A and B are shown apart, each in its own frame.
Chain A
Amino acid sequence: MSWGGGDTALAQATQGRRLEARRMLFLLGWVIILLSAVRWATGAPDLTSSGTYGASLRLAVPILLAGLGGLYAERTGVVNIGLEGMMILGTWFGAWGGVQFGPWWGVVLGITGGMLGGLVHAVATITFGVNQIVSGVAINILAAGVARFLSVIAFTGHGGGATQSPQVTSSLPRLTVPVLAGGKFFGWQSPDVLGWLEQKHWYLLSDTSAMFRGFMVDLSILTVITLLLVPGTYLFLWRTRLGLRMRSAGENPWAAESLGVRVYTMKYLGVLISGALAGLAGAFLVLEAAGIYREGQTGGRGFIGLAAMIFGNWRPSGVAAAAGLFGYADALNLRSADAVHALLLFVGISLTALGIWYLYRRRFTGGVVSVLIGGLVFLWFAVTDAVPDQFIFITPYVATLVVLAVASQRLRMPTYDGIPFRKGEQIS
């Protein structure tokens, strides 16, 4: 099974990486500039408000954690579709731990719950050789069932029910950056420079300040930990001995085995870390975002995390960028119908521009399709006043699909990702 990324064997390595960095910067610039313009034109402040950015960050965290989880597993060559199920276990155990013992215990138990799911996946796929996707799907089904069963046992009659837990009363510490964003500094209420800039609604300057401020206000400690995990993962996987060995399990397990690397152990490690991160994502959802466990809370974020991993080209920085994008879509969804409507304008213009670029590069089918869809979206924006509720709900899923559809071709997954490794049976 492969993720379908085209003729990967001949992708240009180094040159591709350099181009990628330049392209990323260009895209970032485009987004900021156009988004600010649309905000100014439509008067929908939430499009670029610090509140939205803050919410984006908060909503991106579980996706980022899931994406990193997927990355760890796939870098060791194991596809982990079961992230959603492991996240569900994380939400349940996070809630239970939080109610019983306190929020930090919730975090620990959530991580453990996810890891248990990871252990099942690891045993099934690595030791027994079950098809990795089948195992992942089975774990998703199982985890949902187990959560329901445990809820009946633990929550009914104690303030909760079969589909939700009692409220988690205490919460984890939060911080706000002083001076720039008005945080408290040893009890002294500091000025809120970026907030002041944001209120001015000056084109681009206010929007960028808002963006920075959004990332500095009311940050959960888990958010900080998650953000640190991004460079941390890079350092771990690319700059340590263990990380090199883990990656070798995904790049050429037979070579690794022949050099004395214990490939099975590396894969187990990758999948267990994967489960742990998914569990942490679940714990975050419960302890930070909702304060309560609810059935269905994960809402497909495990899969969106996988999409972030693919879109991020299996690199921590890419996963972070993609998670940010999905978090933003999720945030708009929740904040304001106006903003979603304004987003249509942004998407319409961007797609049309992309289409024109494709046509200029003589890619006719891509160009025509993009211009057509861009035009339709623009029309939709012009003709309607608001986007119906049901459609707002599906924004992140559509965003995921669109992103995958646009980006899937140019990606490079670990060489032996998804290919089962049995000692001695070489598939060369």
Chain B
Amino acid sequence: MSKRFRIRLLWLLVPVSAVVLAFGVSSLVLIAIGENPISAFRSMFRYGSQQNSLVSTVNRAVPLYVAGLAVAIGFKMNLFNIGVEGQYRLAALLSAAAGAAVVLPAPLHVAFIMLVAMAVGAGWAGIAGVLKVKRGVHEVVSTIMLNSIATGVTAYLLANYLRKPRVGSELLLATHPIPASGQLPPLAVIGGEELRSFVLIAVALGVLVYVLIWRTRFGYDLRASGINPDAARASGADPNRMILTTMLISGAIAGLIGMGDLFGFFHAYTLDFPVGLGFDGIAVALVGLNHPVGIAIAAMVFSWVDRAAQILDLEGVPKEVIIITKGVIILSVVIAYEVVRRLVQAQEVKNAAEETRRLEEREEAVAA
């Protein structure tokens, strides 16, 4: 039916416009600073399609994906959990410390570490949830404050309680190393780069999140609360319970953001543990339009761009130009989504009106 096809075409406008604008604006910026965009992009593509680059891209994309999922669950309910950054850092620290303190058979040990991470993430997000439900504090401001507080708490705990004794002239603060039973071996080694096994768990998480949001009663209540909170309330969804539960789930998933790095490389929480994944996750959720598949694509695209751009330094092109690229993608996706949504709605109304008229005419013909 050409009508429905037209609607699908309209939705395609969103990613297409984003890519076109991103390339366009980045090219303009490169030209403005005296660089050749075509050669820059060509280098990026060449470097980025190498096997080890692709593996590295996947590794990089996994924590972004998890972060995007965590944020998206909240977004679906108009709940803005900007605090994933603080949640995952605190979770990574405490789960690494806990993991180093016990010895369990291998699969259990890994599961234990993940559970601790989820619990910590959920708890920290829960603070914001309680503040919203009990005191009406908006979660954007409270979670951002909690991010900074988490930084302080993490630093304090690491420096005073959880760090392993300094060996020799080591300068890096770190927790005790996690024994081998708490580590995940790589899934494969391709092109000299290890593919981290956590990607499987991430994929499973994505499936779980999809099922949760679109196939369960809870997911229905969640989406309804995001679309029309008044109607959702009247239908029996308890807004306070929904807010709290959603924040807890979002925080629990956020807790897992650092697990890929923890299990696959660091095996301890150190001062150079990756930071900023929380905010990148927000960007990925926005670009992925809060859908597990979209987020996966967005995470891969952003990671790939990050990885491929490493080559630019060698060519004398400031690799920070991709920040502009990513920024344009975010902005154009977000704007294009609104525009397309309105167009699609108008089209739907038109389609429905026409078909309804056809139905009415048929009825009248039958009655006559």
Contacts and interface: CB of A to CB of B under 8 A. Distances in A.
Interface of A: 1, 3-6, 81, 120, 124, 128-130, 133-135, 137-138, 141-142, 145-146, 148-149, 152-153, 162, 299-300, 303, 306-307, 310, 388, 390-391, 393-394, 397-398, 400-401, 404-406, 408-409
Interface residues of B, number: 45
Contact of A145 (B135, B326, B335, B339): B326
A355 to B, nearest CB: 15
A146 B142 contact: no
A394 B152 contact: yes
B227 interface: no
Given A133-B80, A393-B151, 9 more contacts: A138-B283, A138-B334, A145-B326, A146-B323, A149-B320, A303-B145, A391-B152, A397-B146, A401-B149
A148 B135 contact: no
Contacts of B75: 134
B324 interface: yes
B320 A162 contact: yes
B149 A397 contact: yes
Contacts of B131: 401, 404-405
When A and B form their complex, which 7 residue pairs have the shortest distance between CB atoms, in order from nearest? A145-B323, A4-B136, A394-B152, A390-B156, A142-B327, A149-B320, A408-B136
B159 interface: yes
Nearest to B341: A129
Nearest to B29: A149
Interface string B319-333: 011011011001100
Interface string B135-151: 11110111011101101
B141 A400 contact: yes
A153 B75 CA distance: 35
B177 interface: no
Contacts of A137: 80, 82, 282, 286
Contacts of A135: 334
Indicate the member of A162, A307, A406 with the most B CB atoms within 10 Å: A307
Contacts of B334: 124, 130, 134-135, 138
Contacts, number: 127
Contact of B283 (A133, A141, A388): A141
B33 interface: yes
Contacts of A409: 135-136
A404 B135 contact: yes
B133 to A, nearest CB: 9
Contacts of A390: 152-153, 155-156, 159
B14 to A, nearest CB: 13
Contacts of B78: 1
B146 A3 contact: no
Interface string B259-295: 0000000000000000000010011001000000000
Nearest to B155: A390
Contact of B331 (A3, A120, A306, A388): A120
Contact of A401 (B136, B146, B159): B146
A130 B80 contact: no
Contact of A142 (B151, B160, B331, B342): B331
30 contacts: A3-B136, A4-B137, A6-B136, A81-B140, A128-B338, A133-B140, A138-B283, A142-B330, A142-B331, A146-B324, A146-B327, A148-B323, A149-B324, A152-B318, A153-B318, A300-B145, A303-B144, A307-B141, A390-B153, A393-B152, A394-B153, A397-B149, A398-B149, A400-B141, A401-B131, A401-B142, A401-B146, A404-B137, A405-B131, A405-B137
Label chain B's interface by main secondary structure. helix
B58 to A, nearest CB: 23
Contacts of A307: 141, 145
B142 to A, nearest CB: 6
A298 to B, nearest CB: 12
B80 A141 contact: no
Contacts of A145: 320, 323-324, 326-327
B148 A4 contact: no
B132 interface: yes
A124 B151 CA distance: 32
A370 to B, nearest CB: 13
Contacts of A129: 338, 342
Indicate the member of B144, B159, B279, B337 with the most A CB atoms within 10 Å: B144
A397 B331 contact: no
Contacts of B137: 4, 401, 404-405, 408
Contacts of B141: 303, 306-307, 310, 400, 404
A124 B331 CA distance: 8
A394 B150 CA distance: 9
A148 B323 CA distance: 8
Nearest to B276: A144
A300 B148 contact: yes
Given A300-B145, A394-B152, A138 B318 contact: no
Contacts of A408: 135-138
B37 to A, nearest CB: 15
Contacts of A404: 131, 135, 137, 141-142
B159 to A, nearest CB: 7
Contacts of A388: 156, 160
Contacts of A4: 132, 136-138
B137 to A, nearest CB: 5
Nearest to B154: A390
B282 A149 contact: no
B335 A130 contact: yes
A390 B326 CA distance: 33
Given A4-B138, A141-B279, A153-B33, A391 B145 contact: no
Interface string B147-184: 01101110110011000000000000000000000000
Nearest to A162: B320
Contacts of A149: 318, 320-321, 323-324
A6 B141 CA distance: 17
Contacts of B324: 145-146, 149
Given A162-B320, A405-B135, A128 B327 contact: no
A229 B345 CA distance: 44
A310 B153 CA distance: 26
A120 to B, nearest CB: 7
